[in-house]
């Protein structure tokens, strides 16, 4: 899952980025509103952490522009302002949730998990497909009751696909959501990770839809009935 942190306080930006990376996310950072708006407008993010008080372009303006342009990624507002009017303004601009500084990093992580679950249509932190269970809170994968050890790339790939169970996900989409903007992206590596995942999981939940991409569905389900082309 790929996130964007827009925060002008360099220390806080670094702390957030480090905590999110340690939690298994791919993270891009911006330090002002103009840079943040550009990244959010041109790159596909699964969620954004957006500070209200930004130089060059305030966070509210950034968010309003995104929503006016049809950008629908979940946005968690970060601000030192604790007046109820600022919260209302943020929600009216299109924010999905709000955290006032100072905050505990665990709360930020929990709110982000909740935002991405809701965006994908899920109600809990656990994603289940057949015998495979992925716990986003604990960052672990269990198959038939047994834990499976995955690399960070393998876990991110499985987590993204399980967030979108029942929908075909193209190689291009996976590359865009699994690597940061500076990574030398190569869609051929996705096929390698898919092969490793299939071997480690030991169950047939990842289907290849020729010419379109990959689909996660329970082994007993028909891929034909589940096909929903990726946007």
Q: Are strands 75-79 and 47-51 parallel, antiparallel or unpaired?
A: parallel
Q: Are strands 126-129 and 75-79 parallel, antiparallel or unpaired?
A: unpaired
Greatest Cα pair distance, the chain, in angstroms, is: 53
Helix, strand or coil, per DSSP, at residue 153: helix
Confidence band (pLDDT; 50, 70, 90) for 226?
very low
Please write the tens of the pLDDT for every residue from 140-162: 999 999 999 999 889 999 999 99
Please write the tens of the pLDDT for every residue from 76-91: 999 876 677 778 888 8
| Domain ranges, ordered by start, for the chain | 2-119, 126-226
Domain 2-119 has CATH 3.30.420.10: no
**Contact of 93 with 63, CB cutoff 8 Å:** yes
Averaged confidence pLDDT in the chain: 87
Q: What is the mean pLDDT of residues 48-53?
A: 94
In whole angstroms, what is the distance from residue 111 CA to residue 105 CA?
10
* C-alpha distances in Å from residue 24, one per residue of 27, 83, 170: 9, 33, 21
In whole angstroms, what is the distance from residue 151 CA to residue 65 CA?
37
Supply the Cα-derived Rg of the chain in whole angstroms.
Answer: 18
State which CATH number among 3.90.1300.10, 1.10.10.10, 1.10.357.10, 3.30.479.30 fits the domain covering 126-226: 1.10.10.10
Please write the tens of the pLDDT for every residue from 98-149: 998 889 999 999 999 999 988 877 777 888 998 999 998 888 999 999 999 9
């Amino acid at each position: 899952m790929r996130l964007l942190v827009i925060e002008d306080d360099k220390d806080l930006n670094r702390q957030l980025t480090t905590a999110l990376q340690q939690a298994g996310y791919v993270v891009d950072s911006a330090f002002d509103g103009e840079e943040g708006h550009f990244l959010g407008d041109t790159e596909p993010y699964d969620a954004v952490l957006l500070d209200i008080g930004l130089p060059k372009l305030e966070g509210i303006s950034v968010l309003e522009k995104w929503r006016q342009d049809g950008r629908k990624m979940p946005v968690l507002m970060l601000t030192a302002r604790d007046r109820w009017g600022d919260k209302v303004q943020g929600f009216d601009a299109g924010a999905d949730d709000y955290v006032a500084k100072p905050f505990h990093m665990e709360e930020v992580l929990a709110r982000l998990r909740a935002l991405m679950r809701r965006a994908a249509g899920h109600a809990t932190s656990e994603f289940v497909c057949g015998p495979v269970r992925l716990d986003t809170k604990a960052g672990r994968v269990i198959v038939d009751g047994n834990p499976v050890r995955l690399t960070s790339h393998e876990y991110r790939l499985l987590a993204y696909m399980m967030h979108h169970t029942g929908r075909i996900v193209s190689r291009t989409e996976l590359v865009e959501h699994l690597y940061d903007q500076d990574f030398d992206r190569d869609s051929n590596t996705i096929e390698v990770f898919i092969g490793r995942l299939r071997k480690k999981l030991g169950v047939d939940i990842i289907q290849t839809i020729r010419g379109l991409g990959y689909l996660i569905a329970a082994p007993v389900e028909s891929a034909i009935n589940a096909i929903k082309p990726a946007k």
